[in-house]
Amino acid sequence: MRKPIVAGNWKMFKTKDEAVQFVEALKAITPSSDKVDTVICASPILLDAVTETAKNSDIHIGAQNMHFEKEGAFTGETSPVLLQDFGVKYVILGHSERREYFYESDEFIAKKVQAAFDHQLTPIVCVGETLDEKEAGETTQKVEGQVQAALKPLTEDQVKQTIIAYEPIWAIGTGKTATAADANEVCGAIRAKIASLYSTEVADAIRIQYGGSVKPDNMEELMSQEHIDGALVGGASLQAESFGKLLEAA
């Protein structure tokens, strides 16, 4: 039985006061971590405030990106050492916005995935197809390739601990959601690929989220699918009340 994991991706939203107020409000309604893993992924400049506010609660804090090097001349970047130092537990890697606007390649993302494990951070690895790729029938091939490349440097035990987020790019921030059946089919194909690369034991253990316009009114149906173990949520993670409803539905 895989424990659901619901992660909010705040992107470049929220001031410090708004972030602290959100975490305070969420603390009162977050389900116990026996039932669901709750993660909030904030901008690096908010991490100090949100990790402090979330202390001794069932809320885990994540980052939205990081560099793979421990330190160095990389202006504007955040190292895994700093994330660890701030008490961050998760890091989103390979989000489609990073792949598209910052030209992150599969190889570059794989280095970050390895660096995450080197610093006791759990990576949430995003994969997904564009609308053109979907229409050309290339979805499975695309996401399987992304999954294989991102997991390449890892041991089997690390693969089991990785979170994969299947996020069709055409569904992110658009209000269009993949049908629960379609999302489940792609998540099932990812699991089958992992079984063929590693073992059924690894494939049964790894948690796969769906992301793309998840809202309180579609969460329950998505979560009822065999291969969907949680959600990565943008827009609906910005209000504690709506995010709380997603956690409840998980």
For binding to ligand PEP (CB under 6 A), which residues are involved?
9, 167, 172-173, 211-214, 232-236
- Nearer of residues 202 and 207 to ligand PEP, judged by Cβ: 207
To the nearest 5 percent, what fractions of the chain are helix, strand and coil?
50, 15, 35
- Judged on CB neighbours under 10 Å (0-12, 13-18, 19+), 57 is middle
| Shortest distance (Å) from residue 216 CB to ligand PEP | 12
SS3 of residue 207 by DSSP: strand
Nearer to ligand PEP, 32 or 101 (CB): 101
Nearest to 211 by CA among 52, 69, 95: 95
Annotated active-site residue in 95, 97, 119, 144: 95
Does 56 appear as a known binding residue? no
- Whether residue 11 is annotated as binding a ligand: the answer is yes
Based on the residue annotation, tell me whether 167 is a catalytic residue of this protein.
Answer: yes
Shorter beta-carbon distance to ligand PEP: residue 4 or 234: 234
In the complex with ligand PEP, the residue whose CB is nearer, 9 or 79, is 9
**Cα distance between residue 165 and residue 147, in whole Å:** 10
211 assigned ligand-binding residue: no
Which residue is at the shortest CB distance from ligand PEP? 234
φ and ψ of 89, to 5 deg: -110, -25
What CA–CA distance (Å, rounded) separates 143 from 186? 8
Residue 235 annotated as lining a ligand binding site: yes
- Output the known binding site: 9-11, 173, 213, 234-235
- Output the known binding site for substrate: 9-11, 173, 213, 234-235
- Active site (catalytic) residues: 95, 167
